[in-house]
Amino acid sequence: MNIRWDAVVDCQSRTAEVPGRAVSGAVVGAVRHAAVATVNVWLYGTLAGSATERPLRLQIADRLSTNAVIRELGQRLGEEFLGHVVDAKGRKFDHCRIFVDGSEVDNPELPVHQGPGPATVEMILLTAIEGG
């Protein structure tokens, strides 16, 4: 499956900060019920083959961050998925890009999305063929 990274990435929206619409209390694209956030995850490129459903709908009880999303996806999709996304120490690979509500998130520990409705998280691996 060949998907050009620039078809799903807005290079102008890359941020190390929480997006402006993602304020306190919620995760981007997440619905909070008590201490649980609902997140819709879209996987692209090589990662799309790991998923049996699209989007994957996750329930996250932790503080919602992209690391929490990766941990939950790892539990659901297994070691093969994690091998594409994180190194042996659990750090996200640079070629794995994560977007929350359309904005790239560089800091995997930042809380994401503080608002009503489910958060939308998109992940893509930028390999040489996909990166152009």
128 Cβ neighbours under 8 A, 6+ residues apart:
none
The answer to whether the beta carbons of residues 39 and 57 sit under 8 Å apart is yes
Tokens 């893509």 belong to which residue? 124
Domain count, the chain: 1
The reported pLDDT for the residue numbered 55 is 92
pTM metric for this prediction:
0.69
What whole-number distance in Å separates Cα of residue 74 and Cα of residue 26? 22
What whole-number distance in Å separates Cα of residue 1 and Cα of residue 11? 22
| Chunked mean pLDDT (size 10), the chain, 132 residues | 53 47 35 67 88 88 86 93 92 90 87 75 73 52
Range of the domain at 60: 5-131
The reported pLDDT for the residue numbered 8 is 56
Side chain identity at residue 27, one-letter code = V
CATH number at residue 69: 3.10.20.30
Please tell me whether residue 113 adopts helix, strand or coil conformation. Answer: coil
